[in-house]
Structure 1
Amino acid sequence: MNWNYPISTTEYFFIFFFILVYVAYIIRTIRIARQLQTTARTIIIKLFLRSIVLGLLIISLLGPSFGEADQEVSAKGKDIYLIVDLSKSMDAADVNPSRLEKVKFEMNHFIQNQKASRIGIIVFSNDAFVQVPLTYDAAALELFIQSLQTDLLPTSGTNICSATELAYNKLMNGTDPTGRSKMMVLFSDGESKNDCSRSLFNNLRRFGIGIYVVGVGTINGISLRSQGKTLMDENEKIVISKLDENFLQSFSSNTKGKYYELNNAKNDVGQMINDVSKAEGTLVDSRTVTVVSNKYYYFLGAALILILLDVLITIGTFRL
């Protein structure tokens, strides 16, 4: 038998208190019996019964464990690329504190829930680059996420198709191209002027790559600011950045993926994390561990039965 908890001062206190009270009770009972010129031998039965109850209660407090069983524990992982839009429109503040800052927060949340998966980061505007290759190092991922800024890339624009194609090539040409589940999580406001090729969509569907698209922003949009000034176009009109929900939903539909919203009114990232977690992963580790369970309730139940008997059974203290 194993014990979940060591015996402590609490158990010692109850034992000492029980002995002290019962010694005082026995001395008082014997003194009264002598005065009455009789015996008080039957109190030994109650003492024996209550001592057993105390012992059973202490054993249940210590958490006795026995009945060992072998249980197989497995971890299933995936290869996931987080694709992040770093175009200037991601600085828009229609999502507090900004679209990009909100995305960075949710990316950290995502990583914390995918400990068994390899995760990489691809950033894009008009061009796409691998910022972090697939890795299990959550600390490194979080460090790189904090460094994301819209001025990180030299070009402007939003080319979701090139970023998706880069992620596809990295997933398929990696060190384990066929043995692991592959997924992409795209964060963008969808302001893309590029149409993806049919071959890209066909390949994503053919190889079963999971696509999870998170639309960041609002359909009403907001004006953009740069260096404290409102951005104007060539016609001196205020530049309004809006979430292109139609493009993102169409992209998600063509890849047989799922679409989610991220703004001040609605945050579907939690649902997205659940969907990714439920998706079938690849076995990355399996171990057989010995499991013992806390059987305190056996001893607690026996103690309660004896307490009930103690209440129901009446024993004469003195014999006249």
Structure 2
Amino acid sequence: MQLANLNFFWILLLPALLLALSLVLESIKRNRLRAFIDSNLLNNVLRGPSPSSYAPTLRASLSLLIGLLLALSVLRPQWGFSWVKGVKSGVDIIVAVDVSQSMLSNDLKPNRLELARREIVDLMSVLRGDRIGLVAFAGTAFIETPLTLDYNTFRMFIDEIDPSLIPIQGTNIEAAISKSTEAFGDVESATGKAKRDRALILITDGEDFEGNFSQAAKTAKENDIKIYIIGVGTTTGGPIPTDRGLKRDKSGNVIITKLNEDALKNLAKETGAVYVSSISSSSDTNLIYNLGIKKDLKDRKLEEENSKKWNEYFQLPLLLALILLILQRTLELGVLSNLRGRSKSESNATNRSPNNKDPLKIQALGIAALLLIPFLAEQARAETQSALKKAYDAFGAGEFETAASHFDRAIEERADSLSYLGKGSSHYRMGDFKEASTAFLEAAKLTNDAGQQANALYNAGNALTQLGEYQEAIKVYEEALKVKGGGEG
């Protein structure tokens, strides 16, 4: 079971607060009248002369229960779901990430591995119907995440890639390519679906090459796998930080790890791959995706169960609330009082009273307003989702200005972290790094998810770097690292 409108959870407090307020007001009224009216007559004055007035405790209990049931209906309880099949088209992409210790070097801020993570997250922001998988490699390789359309699950595994995953150090390109080819093949045979064009993105610093990558690349080519290589690091290099300080060789000298760009270029040439040298931004994978993968490979349709449709049960608490409301109004408006012999003169006197107010109308208006909340919320959510869909579609088509406009509309309807992330990404692609940094920083403020907040801060740091505001960028990167590390300095 789940509650669809969990963001309205506070509404459960309203019935109790309103009941408490009414009791306080009644107590104040009673204390004021006690000074002028005999205590034996006080209850009759407050309740009115009609014998139909039922026990205050029962009245309060019914009101509270009705309010809670109405609040529960607003929260839209759901349980049980069915899978909704959707037809998606795209290619299969495996990202193979070097997790050797040299990837911890901070010659690129915050470090090579963090930049690699940002490259992957940036790639995910433009995927549309493409399956994606993750392979981690160092001295050997293994499949971290098989090919999937579940981007949210895949996103969680990105944060897990770390040098501690593989104790065997090195940069075994052969193992990375072989394991990635295996990952493509496993899904192919398991699903029995039509073959889709496939791309392998290698992210590595190229240091300490191992293995016969020529044979592995040949195997990949035979399986129609297009290889793209992203070199991470600088040719000047940097030290490798460890828990005990900087990593040193046997002679006690600080080890300087450098991007082995020549070897990566030779690998690209030998395997027919595309090579891109990474910079301190996360736009490389976006460039490879839009100008490489989408240009060189063909989308294929794939039918897959990719979304859940939950069964709605808000009608049940709503029906119970209406039944209790009818019972309450029956007790208050005289059905029982007629059975108990209420006099006609009392009724006429009550109706002629200028101070008489119809409580049924007042309560009905209140209930109507309460019941409108879920429908207004659903309408607002639908409008926001429509704007977001248009924004993502425009973004995927490379129409970044249009995407930014739709993200702005989504923010007007409901300002959340994802909308600001989309806005920032759109402005980043347009080269408007000032607006991008502002949007990314706002996205970081609007989420409690540490991973998402760190990603937003990294993006903001990248945008500030592009603006040349290096000191501000360093502060943002440091804040991102604190968030990532759970607030540690």
State the TM-score, normalized to the length of structure 2.
0.41
**Counterpart Cα distance in 2 of 1:211 and 1:197:** 12
- Is 2:220 the counterpart of 1:201? no
Displacement of 1:100 in angstroms is 0.6
Q: More deviation in 184-193 or 195-204?
A: 195-204
Count how many residue pairs are aligned between Structure 1 and Structure 2. Answer: 213
Alignment match of 1:139 (pick from 128, 142, 152): 152
Structure 2 portions without partners, runs of 5+: 1-86, 304-489
**Counterpart Cα distance in 2 of 1:114 and 1:211:** 18
Displacement of 1:89 in angstroms is 0.6
**Alignment match, 1:76:** 89
**Counterpart Cα distance in 2 of 1:265 and 1:221:** 17
Displacement of 1:177 in angstroms is 8.1
**Counterpart Cα distance in 1 of 2:103 and 2:273:** 22
- Is 2:130 the counterpart of 1:117? yes
Tell me, yes or no, if the aligned pair for 2:193 and 2:302 is still in contact at 8 Å.
Answer: no
**Alignment match, 1:231:** 247
SS in 1 for 2:163: coil
Tell me, yes or no, if the aligned pair for 1:165 and 1:200 is still in contact at 8 Å.
Answer: yes
Alignment match of 1:269 (pick from 285, 289, 298): 285
**Alignment match, 1:280:** 297
**Alignment match, 1:218:** 234
**Counterpart Cα distance in 2 of 1:168 and 1:147:** 22
Tell me, yes or no, if the aligned pair for 1:114 and 1:277 is still in contact at 8 Å.
Answer: no
**Counterpart Cα distance in 2 of 1:138 and 1:131:** 14
Alignment match of 1:91 (pick from 90, 94, 104): 104
Tell me, yes or no, if the aligned pair for 2:91 and 2:298 is still in contact at 8 Å.
Answer: yes
Q: Identify, as 1 or 2, the structure richer in helix.
A: 2
**Counterpart Cα distance in 2 of 1:127 and 1:171:** 18
Question: In the TM superposition, what whole-angstrom CA distance separates every residue of 1:50-70 from its partner, at most 9, and x where no partner exists?
Answer: xxxxxxxxxxxxxxxxxxxxx
**Alignment match, 1:157:** 170
Larger Rg belongs to: 1
Tell me, yes or no, if the aligned pair for 1:128 and 1:163 is still in contact at 8 Å.
Answer: yes
Displacement of 1:195 in angstroms is 4.2
SS in 1 for 2:209: coil
Displacement of 1:237 in angstroms is 1.6
Amino acid at match of 1:117: D
- Is 2:197 the counterpart of 1:181? yes
Question: In the TM superposition, what whole-angstrom CA distance separates every residue of 1:50-107 from its partner, at most 9, and x where no partner exists?
Answer: xxxxxxxxxxxxxxxxxxxxxxxx8531111110110001110011111111111110
SS in 2 for 1:76: strand
Amino acid at match of 2:265: Q
Please list, as runs of the form range in 1=range in 2, the aligned pairs for 1:251-266 lying within 5 A after superposition.
Answer: 251-264=267-280
SS in 1 for 2:91: strand
Identity of aligned residues (%): 27
RMSD: 2.2
Question: In the TM superposition, what whole-angstrom CA distance separates every residue of 1:240-276 from its partner, at most 9, and x where no partner exists?
Answer: 0100011111111122110011133895333212122
Tell me, yes or no, if the aligned pair for 1:80 and 1:182 is still in contact at 8 Å.
Answer: yes
**Alignment match, 1:244:** 260
Amino acid at match of 1:276: I
**Counterpart Cα distance in 1 of 2:224 and 2:251:** 45
Tell me, yes or no, if the aligned pair for 1:190 and 1:244 is still in contact at 8 Å.
Answer: yes
Structure 1 portions without partners, runs of 5+: 1-73, 287-320
SS in 2 for 1:151: helix
**Counterpart Cα distance in 1 of 2:281 and 2:195:** 39
Tell me, yes or no, if the aligned pair for 1:87 and 1:125 is still in contact at 8 Å.
Answer: yes
Bigger relative contact order, structure 1 or 2 (CA pairs below 8 A, ≥6 apart) = 1
